[in-house]
Amino acid sequence: MKNIIVPIDFSEYSEYALKAAALLSKKTAVTVYALHMLDIHEVSLSQSPEYSQEKAVFLLKLAEKRFKEFLKKDYLQDVKVVPIIKHYKVFSEVNSIAKEVDADFIIMGSHGASGLKEFFMGSNTEKVIRYAEVPVLVVKHELFDINFSDIVFATDFSEESIATFKKMLNSLDFLNARKHLLYVNLPNENFKTTPEMDFLANNFLMQAEGNVDRLINVNFVCAKSIEDGILTFSNLIGADLITLITNGRKGLSHVFTGSISEDISNHAALPIMTFKI
């Protein structure tokens, strides 16, 4: 692991993410790219181009000053931090920046969302998860260590998720944590019997790693929803981190079908890490 991106909006939640990045830097040497996307509203058409440019320069300078002050934290003293300011606020661009700096993953703070606000607007974190091709770590509270010992990997054991499973193992190998593979069995047309679930797990592990050594860490739970199954199991074993696969759905598909990864990132108290399939 070499590079991490932390989007900064000066809120306490983005500081949670920045502190998490600082803690990670103590485990493995990384460069933290602190990203602030400046929200410059469109200037009225009645205003001259010269005024618009002057306004943009003024806001940029103001953001640079505030950003510089925000990054003066004791916990960043021995951390290599590279500040980046962009004069737009388009969340798909976070992925472009991640590619530019060859980021290993993105860390974001989030307070979640609920009710009508969640349905109609979503959250900034959701928008980044939807577009990011690199893993996204979502933290809800201030972390005082990154000594994660138990990680839940929710999976449907499908062949298309094998590459993502391998990516998860590689990305989190430095933590030396137990990985609990979790399959949530639902009471619907996709309900699986125990032999059927055993077959899925065996086939998945053989294709992914050429052995079934991890069967000891495979867990099956029955629940009324995937979200409930993941959260209940994670709380039961005292997990430190939940890892999820996201399809990154956008547009109407996302609005009408929702996203399990985004729902859990909104409602879980535990840190969440998403991996795009």
Q: What is the mean pLDDT of each run of 10 residues along the chain (277 residues)?
A: 90 93 90 85 53 71 86 92 81 86 92 48 71 90 92 94 93 92 92 96 97 96 92 95 79 46 76 89
The confidence score (pLDDT) of residue 239 equals 96
The confidence score (pLDDT) of residue 122 equals 47
- Tens digit of pLDDT for each residue in 157-190? 999 999 999 999 999 998 889 999 999 999 988 8
Report the DSSP pairing between strands 178-185 and 150-154: parallel
Q: Count CB atoms within 10 A of the CB of residue 188.
A: 7
Q: Which of 148, 152, 122 shows the shortest CA–CA distance to 266? A: 122
The confidence score (pLDDT) of residue 38 equals 76
The confidence score (pLDDT) of residue 248 equals 63
The confidence score (pLDDT) of residue 261 equals 67
The confidence score (pLDDT) of residue 52 equals 63
pTM score of the predicted model: 0.85
Is 155 in contact with 181 (CB distance < 8 Å)? yes
Instruction: Find the helix or strand (DSSP H, E) in which 19 lies.
Output: helix 12-27
Domain 147-277: CATH class, spelled out: alpha beta
The confidence score (pLDDT) of residue 48 equals 60
CATH architecture of 1-142: 3-Layer(aba) Sandwich (3.40)
The confidence score (pLDDT) of residue 252 equals 37
Give CB contacts under 8 A, 24+ apart, made by 122-129: 122/262, 123/266, 124/7, 124/9, 124/91, 125/265, 126/259, 126/262, 126/265, 126/266, 127/91, 127/92, 128/7, 128/91, 128/94, 128/95, 129/246, 129/248, 129/259, 129/261, 129/262, 129/265, 129/274
Q: Count CB atoms within 10 A of the CB of residue 266.
A: 22
Compute the distance between CA of residue 13 and CA of residue 141 in angstroms, rounded to an integer.
7
- Partners of 154 in beta bridges: 182
Domains 1-142 and 147-277 share a fold: yes
Phi, psi of 42, deg, nearest 5: -60, 135
Ranges of each domain in the chain: 1-142, 147-277
Give CB contacts under 8 A, 24+ apart, made by 58-67: 60/85, 60/87, 63/36, 63/38, 66/10, 67/8, 67/34, 67/36
